[in-house]
Chain A
Amino acid sequence: AQSVTQLGSHVSVSEGALVLLRCNYSSSVPPYLFWYVQYPNQGLQLLLKYTSAATLVKGINGFEAEFKKSETSFHLTKPSAHMSDAAEYFCAVTSRGNDYKLSFGAGTTVTVRA
């Protein structure tokens, strides 16, 4: 079954610093990958998705992610953190063979220090 692993349940960054959130997938076939953001007591909002058209994917709010097949990774980055980036971030995966299931990682909580 497809799965993703998010390294680091909690990340703390200074305002203006680089944000790096790690996600690795387990699959012998490159899957479809997504990053979502969740603000407290709300549903999830899509940040970006990997469609296999390009390995570097740009999303909303200045986030981007790079698909690296050799590393089975899809890490999320933002060059300069803003206070409003404080939230929980989830990596998710669905299989090309079975597109019904969308499975999520455990999530990474980001705090931004002033």
Chain B
Amino acid sequence: SQTIHQWPATLVQPVGSPLSLECTVEGTSNPNLYWYRQAAGRGLQLLFYSVGIGQISSEVPQNLSASRPQDRQFILSSKKLLLSDSGFYLCAWRRQGVNTEAFFGQGTRLTVV
């Protein structure tokens, strides 16, 4: 069976510090990978998605970047965090092809102070 791991679960970081959130998927190959951010009352905002190693599409210009160094690894990064980067970050994967649902990690609660 497939599983998705996302860590850490919670993170408190000072303004201006770097960020690295990691997500890995097991039990499948060549998945589509996604990073979403969830802010209170604003639903899920798609940040980045990837259809293959090294292929990253950015949806929203911002202080964050993403990388996919391996087929089942997706990393969300920032060089200098802003207060506005606080939120609940969710990683997800989908099988290639149409009409496939997304499977989500447990999320990371990031608080920038």
Contacts and interface: CB of A to CB of B under 8 A. Distances in A.
Contact of A43 (B46, B98, B99, B105): B105
B32 interface: yes
Given A100-B32, A106-B42, A42 B106 contact: yes
Given A99-B98, A100-B49, A100-B57, A107 B43 contact: yes
A46 B101 contact: yes
A41 B104 CA distance: 12
Binding site secondary structure of chain B? strand
Contacts of B51: 100
Nearest to B51: A100
Contacts of B109: 41
B43 A106 contact: yes
A42 to B, nearest CB: 6
- Chain A contact residues (Cβ within 8 angstroms of B): what range? 20 to 34
A90 interface: yes
A102 B107 contact: no
Given A42-B107, A100-B51, A49 B101 contact: yes
Interface of B: 6, 32, 34, 36, 41-44, 46, 49, 51, 57, 59, 88, 90, 92, 94, 97-107, 109
